């Protein structure tokens, strides 16, 4: 057999072997590929997120007795020069008219802070011995001989619309008394701001003037045509706008304040709320004194309007009259408004006071 034929026979014998090999293995490979492609993927167990503990703020360190005391004094309008500080004692000199009420308020403030209090008296000085849970101890004394200067209260009316004038007065850092119209656009915001900064706040309650309706006292005014129930509702609604006020005074009201019975209705509401009334005295025939006497309401009466003329000359003349009354009576009440001319003059006058003490209105002796 020729060599070429033998090589061809050898090649022919190898072909069946390759055929059977492919026949056996191709189905297996195909099945494996199909299985791998179609098999369900193993489910991974969901990872449990780490448990997060709720954030609990660290407790603030307890306030010291002095911190609580000074915060209270700031809120009440007590000036720095009225307070004398010793290592274990603080003496506070206050006008006689306000001493008792402020001490009672301070006792309540200390008790709400969790402090224990003992009262005493030594050498004519009213004493409070205060102790906190840590054993810290402080004596707070109120000398019976308080401020000897004449006292002056300045009430700024018609607030609640413009913040600029109010900000200017607050920056002077003197204890003005601010009276806000109940339904002015920014009353709630500005009154809260004034109160937080330690100023006394009043409700400037709109009342019917003699020129009504041509002279409009504004939204929520109390009118002489209203029945008792309506007057009560209107007064409560006005108070709800700024419920933290110390008292109220009348905005306009030359007609309404001459109505004895209707003034009694309003005063009854204020008495139930523990407030006082300042008669702006927009008429010489006001019945506020008679109504307050019947209802047992604490009453103050305005001495001088400072800026009726809305000019510098008039303001200076009225300011001198206010000081004269303060010297004569020992205290006096002036009312002004946030006019630009008034603000500039008021700042200059108040900062130059030497022999007269400016105080919140409620520090003065009430008329009744």
Higher pLDDT, 8 or 167: 167
Report the percent of the chain where pLDDT is more than 90: 69
Residues 93-134: pLDDT tens digits? 888 778 888 899 999 999 999 999 999 988 878 899 999 998
pLDDT category at 292 given cuts 50, 70, 90 is: very high
Provide the pairing of β-strand 247-252 with 276-279.
parallel
What are 234's two structure tokens? 């209107």
d(CA 202, CA 278): 9
- For 173, phi and psi rounded to 5 degrees? 60, 40
**The predicted structure's pLDDT at residue 54:** 33
pLDDT category at 30 given cuts 50, 70, 90 is: low
d(CA 294, CA 207): 20
What are 210's two structure tokens? 């003699």
| Degrees to nearest 5, angle at CA 239 with 238 and 242 | 105
pLDDT winner (highest mean) among 30-34, 104-108, 277-281, 309-313 = 277-281
Higher pLDDT, 296 or 50: 296
**The predicted structure's pLDDT at residue 44:** 46
**The predicted structure's pLDDT at residue 4:** 52
| Mean per-residue pLDDT of the chain | 86
**Residues 195, 201 contacting (CB under 8 angstroms):** yes
Beta bridge partners of 251: 206
d(CA 203, CA 158): 10
Residues 310-363: pLDDT tens digits? 889 999 999 999 999 999 999 999 999 999 999 999 999 999 998 999 999 999
Q: Which of 137, 145, 131 is nearest to 99 (CA)?
A: 145
What are 311's two structure tokens? 């000019």
| Degrees to nearest 5, angle at CA 187 with 183 and 189 | 140
**The predicted structure's pLDDT at residue 18:** 52
d(CA 270, CA 266): 7
Lowest average pLDDT, out of 7-21, 172-186, 282-296, 307-321, goes to: 7-21
**The predicted structure's pLDDT at residue 49:** 39
pLDDT category at 80 given cuts 50, 70, 90 is: confident
């Amino acid at each position: 057999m020729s060599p070429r034929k033998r090589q061809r026979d050898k090649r022919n014998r190898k072909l069946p072997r390759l055929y059977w090999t492919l026949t056996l293995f191709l189905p297996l490979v195909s099945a494996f590929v199909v299985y791998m492609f179609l098999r369900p993927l193993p489910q991974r167990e969901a990872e449990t997120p780490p448990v997060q503990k709720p954030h609990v703020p660290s407790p603030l360190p307890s306030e010291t007795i002095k911190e609580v005391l000074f915060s209270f004094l700031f809120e009440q309008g007590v000036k720095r020069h009225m307070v004398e500080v010793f290592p274990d004692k603080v003496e506070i000199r206050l006008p006689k008219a306000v001493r008792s009420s402020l001490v009672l308020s301070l006792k309540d403030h200390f008790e709400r802070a969790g402090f224990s209090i003992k009262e005493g008296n030594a050498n004519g000085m009213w004493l409070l011995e205060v102790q906190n849970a840590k054993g810290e101890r402080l004596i707070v004394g109120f000398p019976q001989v308080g401020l000897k200067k004449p006292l002056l209260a300045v009430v700024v009316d018609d607030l609640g619309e413009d913040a600029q004038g109010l900000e200017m007065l607050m920056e002077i850092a003197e204890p003005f008394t601010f009276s806000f119209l109940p339904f002015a656009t920014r009353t709630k915001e500005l009154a809260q701001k004034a109160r937080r900064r330690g100023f006394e706040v009043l409700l400037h309650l709109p009342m019917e003037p003699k020129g009504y309706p041509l002279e409009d006292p504004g939204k929520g005014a109390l009118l002489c045509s209203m029945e008792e129930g309506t007057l009560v509702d209107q007064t409560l609604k006005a108070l709800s706008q700024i419920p933290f006020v110390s008292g109220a005074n009348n905005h306009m009201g030359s007609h309404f304040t001459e109505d004895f019975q209707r003034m009694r209705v309003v005063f009854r509401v204020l008495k139930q709320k523990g407030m006082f009334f300042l008669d702006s005295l927009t008429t010489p025939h006001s019945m506020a004194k008679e109504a307050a006497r019947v209802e047992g309401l604490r009453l103050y009466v305005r001495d001088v309007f400072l800026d009726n003329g809305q000019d510098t000359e008039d303001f200076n003349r009225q300011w001198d009259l206010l000081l004269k009354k303060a010297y004569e009576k020992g205290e006096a009440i002036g009312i002004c408004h946030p006019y630009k001319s008034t603000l500039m003059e008021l700042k200059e006058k108040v900062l130059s006071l030497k022999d007269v003490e400016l105080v919140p209105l409620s520090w003065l002796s009430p008329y009744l």
